[in-house]
Amino acid sequence: MALLVLTTSAAYVGLRLEGSSPALAATTQPNIVLILTDDLNEEVFARDAGLQALLTSQGTTFHKQFVELSLCCPSRTSTLRGQFAHNTGIFTNDAATGGGFQSVYRRGLENSTIATWLQGAGYRTGFFGKYLNGYPNGAPSSTYIPPGWDRWFSPNGGSPYSEYNYDVNDDGTTVHYGSGPSDYGVDVVSRKLTTFIRNTTTTYPNKPFFTYVTPYVPHGPATPPPRYDGIYPGAKAPRTPAFNEDDVSDKPAWIRNKAKLTQAQIDNIDALYEKRRESLRSVTDLVQSTIDTLRAQGVLNNTYIVFTSDNGFHQGQHRLNSGKNTAYEEDLNVPLVIRGPGVPAGAVVNAFTLNVDLAPTFAELAGLTPPAFVDGRSLVPFLRGLTPSPWRLAFLNEHAGPSTLNTNSTSNVLEPQDPGDTQALAAGGSPVYVGLRAKPNTLGTTGALNYVAYDTGEHELYDLSTDPDQLDNAYGSASATLRQRLDAWVAALKNASGQALRDAEQSPPQ
C-alpha cells in the first residue's frame, strides 16, 4: 500500500492511491473519522489489545495528549471549536452553573464549529452518539439538529448511559430503542456510522466525509454488551503508588480531609474498572467495523481515523473514588492515536498536544484556514513525521470548582451523576483552580512540572520526571523565583486567546 505525504486538499487532485476505487479517485479531500470515547483513561486504553492492533500499531500515538479541563461538556465544546474553556465560557456540564448544552446553544457557539467549517468546504458531515451534556434541553425542540451536520443521530431522552432504553433524534425524528440485544447503544451507533460511510461513498462519490462518533462507554455504569459481560473476572484497578495514598499531609485541604478508602469503596472501584474494560471491547468492535467498511468501500487509504477521549479518569489515586475533574495526570492525560494516509505507523509523539488542536488539524487536512478565535494548533506536521518548531512549552488547565452537580437530569436522564465522583459533588471536590503543565528545562528546572493554584490560596507543584505519581508536593520547597515565574505564566495564559495564547505558550517568563 502506497502512503503519500499530503498537506492540503489541492495535493489530492488527480491522484489515485494504490488499491483505491474510482470513488476515491474522485474525492479531492481526505475523509476524517473522529471517535471520541467518554471518560477513557490511558491505562484502560492501553490494556485493550484490539485497539492497540487496530490503531497504535497502525498510526501515530500522542503520549502527551491532554484535555485542559477534565469534564465532559467543557472538553467536548473545546473539541468542536478549538478553544479553551475561558474562551468558550463553558466550565461545567449544567446550565444552572453556566455550562452544558443549554449554555452552548444560548451563546451561539454552535454557529462556528469544525462541522460548519467542513460542511462549508464541501464535506458531508455526520454525528453519531453523545453530543453535549444536557442536549436537547433549552433547544427549540427535542429534535433540534445543530448547524453543520448533514446526518444526525444523537440520544435525546431515556437512559443512553445504560446503553438500553433510550430515545434518539434520528435526523429530526425521535426513535425509541429498548432492552433487546440489538438495542445496545454502541452497536447501534456502529451500524449507523457504517451505513453513513457506505451511503456517502456510493451516493456522493465526489464528496469527502467527516464523522464525529461518540460512544457513551466507558462512562459509568459502563454496561458491556452480553458478549463481553464477565470476560475480565477479577480485574482490579491498578495499585499505583498513589492508590489510596497513605500520606496526604502535603496535599491541599480538600484531599487532606478525605479518609482512606474503605474496602467497600475499593471493591466498588474494582467492579467499575472491570466493567470499563469490558464495555470498551464494544468500541473495539466499532473501530474494526469502521475500518472494514472503509476498506470495502475503497476509501481506507484516503481516511484519517482519530481516536481519543473527552477526559481521563481516576480510580483510587490520592484517596479519591472513581471520577475526574482534578488537575492530576490521570484526569488530564488522555489517549490520542491517529492513523491515515502518510501517518507514520508505530510512531510516538511526546510534544504537548491538546483537545483544542483537533479542530485546526481537521481544518488543515481539509485545506481550510480556521477562524482567528481558535486557540489550538494543527497536528498535521506530526502526521508527516515532523516536529514543528516552535511548539508549545506549556499549557493552561482550569477548573470551575466542586459545585458541578447535574441538576438537569431529573426527567430525561441525559447525564447521570457519576456515583463515586467526589469531584462533581456539591461538597468535597476540587476548589476553583488554574494550573500549568510545563516542559522540562523551561523554568530553570530539569523536570516536567505540574503546577496548581487554588482559589483557597493553596498550591500543588510536582516534578513529573521524578514524581510521576504526584505524591510529594514540592511547592513548599520551591524558590520564590520559580513561584513567581509559574504565576506569571499562568497569568499570561488565562485571559489570552488565539495567536496571543499560542505565543504565550512558547514564551516562558523571564
Helix H or strand E segment including 452: strand 449-454
38-57 burial string, b = 16+ CB within 10 Å, else e?
Answer: bbbbbbbbeebeebbebbbe
Q: Which one, of 170, 137, 172, lies nearest residue 155 by Cα?
A: 170
Rounded to the nearest 10 degrees, the angle between the axes of helix 480-494 and helix 498-505 is 160
Q: Which one, of 255, 271, 261, 303, lies nearest residue 431 by Cα?
A: 255
Left, alpha or beta for 370 (phi > 0: left; psi -120 to 50: alpha)?
Answer: beta
Left, alpha or beta for 456 (phi > 0: left; psi -120 to 50: alpha)?
Answer: alpha
Q: Position 43: which residue type?
A: E
Q: Position 447: which residue type?
A: G
Q: Position 211: which residue type?
A: T
CB 317 within 8 A of CB 415: no
Give residues with Cβ within 8 angstroms of 3, minimum separation 6.
301, 341, 342, 343
Distance CA 415, CA 506 (A): 37
Main-chain phi, psi angles of 176, to 5 degrees:
-95, 140
Please report the DSSP string for 453-504 in residue order.
Answer: EETTS-EEEEETTT-TT--S--GGGS-HHHHHHHHHHHHHHHT--HHHHHHH
Query: Is the preceding peptide bond at 370 cis, omega within 30 degrees of 0?
Result: no
Residue matched to cell numbers 464523522: 211
Q: Which one, of 2, 14, 29, 25, lies nearest residue 368 by Cα?
A: 29
- Residue 465's alpha-carbon distances to 366, 440, 472, in angstroms, are 37, 8, 12
DSSP assignment letter at 336: E
Main-chain phi, psi angles of 315, to 5 degrees:
-145, 85
Three-state SS at 45: helix
Say which of 71, 72, 449, 452 is annotated catalytic.
Answer: 72
Q: Position 355: which residue type?
A: N
Sheet holding 394-399, edge to edge: 394-399, 433-438, 449-454, 459-463
Neighbours of 317 (CB within 10 A): 22
Establish whether 73 is a catalytic residue. Answer: no
Active site residues: 72
